Structure 1
């Protein structure tokens, strides 16, 4: 009899869990998840979702290209997440990537190819009051279209905006006054600022789409998508060079920040990934920079490595890092790698992690080729980009779960550790508390079912 009761309880529990945890199925092969992790598909049929952000009420905001900004209420129990009551809060098809929300939930920022807008936002009502105010303009280019936003949590009233190049190899970006291929700093309380009015944090960055601020030390990091179809001394070397870059820009609040206003090489210098495939490479190593001058490029390598700021880490070419998110203690930096479009063997198409030490720096050295550890990947990249997800935006909820948008497939995934444990382990205590509450509620329900079974 006892075994029968236990079996009945197990069946009821499984059915209850299944009923309360809707399952979505992708149209492509199930993703490959690293050992110790779980990933669930929680939203579909979005219009090219890019940037993600949570407000102070725990609502998930999503930039949908050609549509605007949508919001979801999040109903969850550990890894069982349900996105409900979708609502369009900003109707503007020109918004295409960047999004930030102030900590008090009263201000929303979003970007187009040319402008940054500020909205009066009510997180309780999931609505904006009036039209957005243009606070930054003059950013239009014919090349890159994303304008990533980072609202500093360590330096008051500082908004970082990353603007890419006007073309693949944009020679005009050698002029710092032009504003292309730069990260600039703005006061978000001011309206009508031109991009070139902002203070330059870094330049010589082809397309630094990913931006993040270390939660402990406050150091600013960017992930740069490097140029395509590179040649050196008349030879094509684009299959395995140049590398994508993780660059360090120092601490915004540090008046003595020696990295402020540094040039990171583009369009003259590029990160080395596979030195054996670079003509006249000499002693160039992984993580150093090389030149692509029309003739005798190797003669300019010394300039690239003495007069330009080297990347802190390099990643495999064409992986296309799009977003960066630190965990609470800054021990792990998660990256969305949107993936290649012109590489013979597709690469990227994953969410990966880089380990950081107590000094606020990656644990791997600058010559490492193994700093990235994939946690969520496409199971068959040979089918990419046509039949696979392409990671774009990343965002943390308050329970330490990481959300990822896939713009190509119109989806959102949630990533946790196994059994629904918080991916951000420093938020595990709050997640565990929630788990205990949910478990107690479930036990109470099951107890009632036991009594009903005997009656």
Structure 2
């Protein structure tokens, strides 16, 4: 029997289950009470559930003309290649002069892409930094900050876009484990923010800096935990009007096709977002019980729940608030998110760029913006998306690290 967490609507009548759990279930109108009976608050009673898990990885096909031409983008927009043959471009950053940077974690480089004739296609590419497992990029006060697994570097930006020799600021970030891809940005407060994912799918972390967002001074000093209970928040940023910090966290795998949904969280100092014990709208993770004498309910009471959720296993990556002038006014201050795509699901989801609508400074819904990277009846793909950034000309750039392409959406 396949269970859907806290949303079970059927009535259990099985005498086998009744005897196994030693309680009588007459009806399941109260979903919360029903589910709590299967995940008790303490380990004095057995915890049991059945989860149906899948591994499905669509085949990879080329990003050829035919595949790119069938991409679907919101009416009034067009999508085309900005650059290709790039290896595995991941996080994107754009300078105030329109220079485009991309990290390639596997190659351990930062690339500079320039469009000198302003035709929407990069005509020059060069490597401007060599750093093992370089991933997170951000530009602050005309300096490039680069985050690797354990390190953070800073380099001066020259007028032509090249970088000085990177200087090491931090060398003791936690080891990566399952989630080694650090991202970095500076907030309106001038502080450095670093994401540090979990080492595992779901487990108590021995290092208190894993599964967190860290905050530090501009030079990397004074580092401390800003928020915790975040499995892997790659994409985050500050709403341009409210200054509030928002991020998208990756859900736990192996809870079924539709669990755990990806979370949109308002990120606040000192908040705990529940991982690995509480997820989604306050659900209990049956595989990991709070440690010590703490019950699930007690942990739930101190957990900050998401403001919005998205299809499980979509794998949200970089996120960018739109601040350009090319798109219609209603796009201003909405966010774009690269959904990398699923592997732990029977039918693939993600593999797209989505728009997160904000109203009165709060996220309210998602809609597809660029789709079509799944082809051959969803049996193959030609892009898994990672980076997203607004270009100075107002277009939107996003990267694929499977076929080595950066795409551009324009009016």
Instruction: Output the CA distance in 1 between the equivalents of 2:227 and 2:409.
Output: 32
User: 2:333 aligns to what?
Assistant: 331
C-alpha spacing 1:321/1:296, structure 2 compared with 1 (3 Å): closer
C-alpha spacing 1:136/1:93, structure 2 compared with 1 (3 Å): closer
Match of 1:114 among 146, 150, 172: 150
User: 1:410 aligns to what?
Assistant: 404
Task: Say whether 1:268 aligns with 2:277.
Answer: yes
Match of 1:83 among 102, 122, 138: 122
Instruction: Output the CA distance in 2 between the equivalents of 1:379 and 1:90.
Output: 30
Which consecutive residues of structure 1, in runs of 5 or more, have no partner in the other structure?
Answer: 1-23, 231-237, 250-258, 272-287, 365-370, 421-455
User: 1:166 aligns to what?
Assistant: 199
1:41-88, CA deviations, whole angstroms, 9 ceiling, x for partnerless residues? Answer: 1211111100111113211111122330111112465xx402022111
Match of 1:356 among 355, 358, 370: 358
User: 1:307 aligns to what?
Assistant: 302
Instruction: Output the CA distance in 2 between the equivalents of 1:182 and 1:218.
Output: 20
Instruction: Give the match's secondary structure for 1:263.
Output: coil
1:305-341, CA deviations, whole angstroms, 9 ceiling, x for partnerless residues? Answer: 4221000111110001001111228531111100001
Instruction: Give the match's secondary structure for 2:115.
Output: strand
C-alpha spacing 1:414/1:310, structure 2 compared with 1 (3 Å): same
Instruction: Output the CA distance in 2 between the equivalents of 1:40 and 1:66.
Output: 25
Task: Say whether 1:189 aligns with 2:207.
Answer: no
Instruction: Give the match's secondary structure for 1:325.
Output: strand
User: 1:217 aligns to what?
Assistant: 242
Instruction: Give the match's secondary structure for 2:123.
Output: strand
Instruction: Output the CA distance in 1 between the equivalents of 2:90 and 2:195.
Output: 15
User: 2:37 aligns to what?
Assistant: none
Contact residue 338 and residue 349 of structure 1 kept, 8 A: yes
C-alpha spacing 1:379/1:323, structure 2 compared with 1 (3 Å): closer
User: 2:60 aligns to what?
Assistant: none
Contact residue 231 and residue 251 of structure 2 kept, 8 A: yes
Instruction: Give the match's secondary structure for 1:49.
Output: coil
C-alpha spacing 1:47/1:65, structure 2 compared with 1 (3 Å): farther
Contact residue 346 and residue 382 of structure 1 kept, 8 A: no
User: 1:322 aligns to what?
Assistant: 317
State how many pairs are aligned: 337
C-alpha spacing 1:351/1:296, structure 2 compared with 1 (3 Å): closer
Contact residue 115 and residue 139 of structure 1 kept, 8 A: no
Match of 2:167 among 132, 142, 153: 132
1:267-288, CA deviations, whole angstroms, 9 ceiling, x for partnerless residues? Answer: 00111xxxxxxxxxxxxxxxx1
C-alpha spacing 1:213/1:26, structure 2 compared with 1 (3 Å): farther
Match of 2:285 among 288, 292, 296: 292
Instruction: Output the CA distance in 2 between the equivalents of 1:113 and 1:130.
Output: 19
Contact residue 251 and residue 259 of structure 2 kept, 8 A: no
User: 1:69 aligns to what?
Assistant: 110
Residue 131 of structure 1: how far off its partner (Å): 3.6
User: 1:275 aligns to what?
Assistant: none
Instruction: Output the CA distance in 1 between the equivalents of 2:287 and 2:199.
Output: 20
User: 2:77 aligns to what?
Assistant: 37
Residue 395 of structure 1: how far off its partner (Å): 1.1
User: 2:43 aligns to what?
Assistant: none
User: 2:345 aligns to what?
Assistant: 343
Which consecutive residues of structure 2, in runs of 5 or more, have no partner in the other structure?
Answer: 1-62, 324-330
Match of 1:398 among 358, 377, 392: 392
Residue 155 of structure 1: how far off its partner (Å): 1.2
Task: Let me know the Cα RMSD of the aligned residues.
Answer: 2.4
Instruction: Output the CA distance in 2 between the equivalents of 1:265 and 1:353.
Output: 26
User: 2:27 aligns to what?
Assistant: none
User: 2:45 aligns to what?
Assistant: none
User: 1:441 aligns to what?
Assistant: none
Task: Say whether 1:98 aligns with 2:136.
Answer: yes
Residue 382 of structure 1: how far off its partner (Å): 5.8
Residue 407 of structure 1: how far off its partner (Å): 1.0
User: 1:198 aligns to what?
Assistant: 223
TM-score, structure 2 length as denominator? 0.76
1:213-237, CA deviations, whole angstroms, 9 ceiling, x for partnerless residues? Answer: 111221111110111112xxxxxxx
Instruction: Output the CA distance in 1 between the equivalents of 2:333 and 2:94.
Output: 21
